[in-house]
Structure 1
Amino acid sequence: MDERQLSLLAGAGSAALLIAALGFQAVGYAPCELCILQRWPHVAAIAVALLVWWTGRVRALAVLGMIAAGIAMGLAIYHTGVEWKLWAGPSHCSGTIGNLATMSPQDLMTRLQNAPVVRCDEVAWRFLGLSMAAWNAIFSAGLAIMWGMAAKRAKQA
Structure 2
Amino acid sequence: MPTRSDRLAQRLALAVPALLLGGAYLGEYGFGLYPCEMCWWQRYPHFAAVGLALLSTVAAPKRMWIALAGFAILVSGGIGAFHAGVEYGWWEGLTACSSLSSGGGDPLEAIMNAPLVRCDEVQWSFFGISLAGWNALISTATALAILRLLGLRSET
Q: Which TM bucket (shorter chain)?
A: 0.7 to 0.9
Query: What letter is aligned with 1:57?
Result: P
Q: Does the residue aligned with 1:2 lie in a helix, a strand or coil?
A: helix
Deviations 1:106-135 (A, max 9, x none): xxxxxxx7xx71000000001011000000
List alignment gaps of at least 5 residues for structure 1.
95-112
Match of 1:52 in 2: 56
TM-score by length of 1: 0.79
Match of 2:89 in 1: 85
Contact 1:10–1:146, Cα closer than 8 Å, also in 2: no
Match of 2:23 among 3, 20, 23: 20
Contact 1:62–1:150, Cα closer than 8 Å, also in 2: no
- Inter-partner Cα distance in structure 2 for 1:32 and 1:122: 10
- Inter-partner Cα distance in structure 2 for 1:72 and 1:37: 8
Match of 2:38 in 1: 34
1:88 Cα shift? 1.2
List alignment gaps of at least 5 residues for structure 2.
99-111
Q: What's the Cα RMSD here?
A: 2.4
Structure ranking higher in helix proportion: 1
TM-score by length of 2: 0.79
Contact 1:4–1:53, Cα closer than 8 Å, also in 2: no
1:2 Cα shift? 2.9
Which is higher, the Rg of structure 1 or of structure 2? 1
Query: What letter is aligned with 1:72?
Result: S
Match of 1:11 among 9, 14, 29: 14
Q: Does the residue aligned with 1:4 lie in a helix, a strand or coil?
A: helix
Query: What letter is aligned with 1:131?
Result: S
- Inter-partner Cα distance in structure 2 for 1:156 and 1:62: 20
Query: What letter is aligned with 1:78?
Result: F
